[in-house]
Amino acid sequence: MLNEDTQKTVAETEEITITGIGASPGICIGKAYMVDTEGVNVVKRYRIDNDDLVNEINRFKTAVKKAGDEFQAIIDSSRDKFNGHTPILETHQALLKDKMLFGRTIETIEKEQINAEWALKKVAGKLTTMFRQMDDPYLQERTVDVTQVAERILRSLVGADSVNIAEIDKRVILVAGDLTPAETSQINLERIKGFITDRGGMASHTGIIARTLGIPAVLGMGAATKTIQNDDLIIVDGLQGLVVIHPAEQTLVDYEDLRFRYEQFKAEIVRDSFCEAQTMDGIDIKIMGNIELPEEVVSVGDHGGDGIGLYRTEFQYMNRLDYPTEDELFDKYRDVVEIMAPKPVTIRTLDINGDKAIAGAREAVEINPALGLRGIRYCLQRPDIFTTQLRAILRAAAYGEVRLLLPMISCCAEIDETRRLMDQAAEDLAADGVKFNRDIKTGIMIEVPAAVIMADALAEKVDFFSIGTNDLIQYTLAIDRGNREVAYMYHPLHPAVLRMIKRVTNVAAKKEIEVYICGEMAGDLIHIPILLGLGFNELSMNPQAIPTVKCFIRTLNLDEAKAFLGEVFIQRSAEDIRQIIYERYGDRLAQMRITMSP
């Protein structure tokens, strides 16, 4: 019989497979690196005896001191970067010792005889509610400061040191409860082989970045952080959405083989990606790349992209305390435009908030951010920030073909106001004697159902539409794109979504404007026949998907795809549509995939 210790060892090393959402394809094998971004969320309440009260208060004071030291270290290290100005951190440092937070927490520990974590949470909660209810917007904004300061003290109290992803210096696989898009964008490809998270869904920005980086990722694992421990050997199978913990020897051999075949398959398909994506009946389809960071432009080129269909500019505003300057933005935009020239670059204006909060945008405290001050709404409320970006884009447009794309449009007035700001920016640039180009195509994202309904009116104000299916699906089906609990309902093939898209392509044809698609739906092979049938001749996707999509398009016939729509639009569910796609295109799809058995 096994003794207790041996039993534990056997149990701990037994192979376990957990399933999640395969958000980025590929296989990686390596050691787990636990990233605790949320130890502070699991605070428990417990009673402190009279005799222990002094100790508890001292524990709190020590945590405050530690948090203060951490702030100071960050302030010191960022002085050069921010020309001596670190106002947010300095506010935070002052708040640490503020009577309302510091003093009241100590009072609460004493009076209510409760632990420091609970007392702090209670006091911070009351303070944020108080600030939120104030009329003065400046004071309302203090809620974020209080929350962030309280979180930092809590981290010291519970001993959850925050991990700086950019500084990880081992070849590892990240395991986290969740990663924000800002954290994901700090991943260093030379170190991080892949990642898995408990939460998140296919269309979350975290998943999108994983695909763009080209590293395997499985999201929405549920309880990966409870099952996996630091340094555990794990396999991330982004093709099937599986994670194997403590793999047995045979499993490792099988996965090494699959990884090898997958890499080979990818290399083969990339070789052909520099040729056009032409259907069997001779129609050229442009396949563009989506990028988040300027450096990714290289990946679009390497994967045979015909241009940039979506440059998500908000990532340049993340992981920093201030806003980028016009020159900083211009330099990056010009680089991308020059590298891509003569191919077009579609620069989307700032789409922050929603799930992409940035440090400076205090509105991050919104209770329902997906429906909040996101994208164009934020920009029109902050014309100073918006104008800085518009000027940088107009200047970059002098160096190649730039298209300007506006996110989250839901009414005509937003376009009118943006055009007014653009005219003003152009006038000012001319007065400043700076080189720029005002003559650029301007389009809007169609990603809010209101924009679909209003498409005929909106079409009169713009040169093109670009359908953002990630949000269009989220808002049409009322499914949070990053929520694993409802991920099973997130269906690009839902008849309601397809009808929305059809309505937009019909309007675009009637109004004779271009219509593109840049949501994640465009990068998934199963959707391609329908999208071609609907008349799209330009699709934009994560760069990694370009070669396979091009290869698949070469097996399709446009007339057949158009005729196929007749069958699609009489179906009543996403499952039925998926089924008929497999019946018609299954063989061709199978050739594009690689599976476990050779």
Q: Please check whether residue 472 is in contact with residue 447, taking contact to mean a CB–CB distance below 8 angstroms.
A: yes
User: Of 300 and 406, which CB lies nearer to Mg ion in the complex structure?
Assistant: 406
Member of 64, 504, 518, 553 binding ligand PEP (CB under 6 A): 518
469 contributes a contact to ligand PEP by CB under 6 A: yes
User: How would you label 13-47 residue by residue, b for 16+ Cβ within 10 Å and e otherwise?
Assistant: eeebebebbbbbbbbbbbebbbbbbbbbeeeeeee
Q: Please check whether residue 100 is in contact with residue 111, taking contact to mean a CB–CB distance below 8 angstroms.
A: no
User: Of 237 and 471, which CB lies nearer to ligand PEP in the complex structure?
Assistant: 471
471 contributes a contact to ligand PEP by CB under 6 A: yes
Question: Which of ligand PEP, Mg ion, none lies near 543, with the C-beta cut-off 5 to 8 A by kind?
Answer: none
447 contributes a contact to ligand PEP by CB under 6 A: yes
SS3 584: helix
Nearest approach, Cβ of 519 to ligand PEP (angstroms)? 3
- CB closest to ligand PEP, residue no: 468
Q: List strands edge to edge, sheet with 21-24.
A: 16-19, 242-245, 233-237, 27-35, 172-176, 192-197, 217-219, 21-24
471 contributes a contact to Mg ion by CB under 5 A: yes
Question: Cα-flanking dihedrals φ and ψ of residue 444, to 5°?
Answer: -130, 150
Take residue 40 and report the two structure tokens written for it.
């502070």
SS3 97: coil
User: Of 183 and 447, which CB lies nearer to Mg ion in the complex structure?
Assistant: 447
Member of 152, 312, 332, 494 binding ligand PEP (CB under 6 A): 312
User: Of 475 and 585, which CB lies nearer to ligand PEP in the complex structure?
Assistant: 475
Stretch that binds ligand PEP, among 76-84, 317-325, 385-393, 463-471 (CB under 6 A): 463-471
DSSP class of residue 280? T
User: Of 168 and 411, which CB lies nearer to ligand PEP in the complex structure?
Assistant: 411
Q: Please check whether residue 193 is in contact with residue 172, taking contact to mean a CB–CB distance below 8 angstroms.
A: yes
**Residue 551: active-site member:** no
Question: Which of ligand PEP, Mg ion, none lies near 519, with the C-beta cut-off 5 to 8 A by kind?
Answer: ligand PEP
Stretch that binds Mg ion, among 87-95, 117-125, 239-247, 470-478 (CB under 5 A): 470-478
Q: Please check whether residue 232 is in contact with residue 32, taking contact to mean a CB–CB distance below 8 angstroms.
A: yes
Nearest approach, Cβ of 470 to ligand PEP (angstroms)? 3
> Which residue is catalytic, options 28, 92, 205, 379?
205
Q: Give dist(CA 582, CA 587) in Å, integer.
A: 8
Displacement of CA 326 from its chain's centroid (Å): 24
> Which residue is catalytic, options 28, 518, 527, 551?
518
What region, left, alpha or beta, does residue 2 occupy, with left being phi > 0 and alpha being psi -120 to 50 degrees? beta
User: Of 56 and 471, which CB lies nearer to Mg ion in the complex structure?
Assistant: 471
Pairing between β-strand 284-291 and β-strand 538-541 as defined by DSSP bridges = parallel
Q: Please check whether residue 552 is in contact with residue 467, taking contact to mean a CB–CB distance below 8 angstroms.
A: no
351 contributes a contact to ligand PEP by CB under 6 A: yes
Question: Which positions lie near ligand PEP, rule CB under 6 A?
Answer: 310, 312, 351, 447, 468-471, 518-519
Question: Which positions lie near Mg ion, rule CB under 5 A?
Answer: 447, 468, 471
- Which residues form the catalytic set? 205, 518
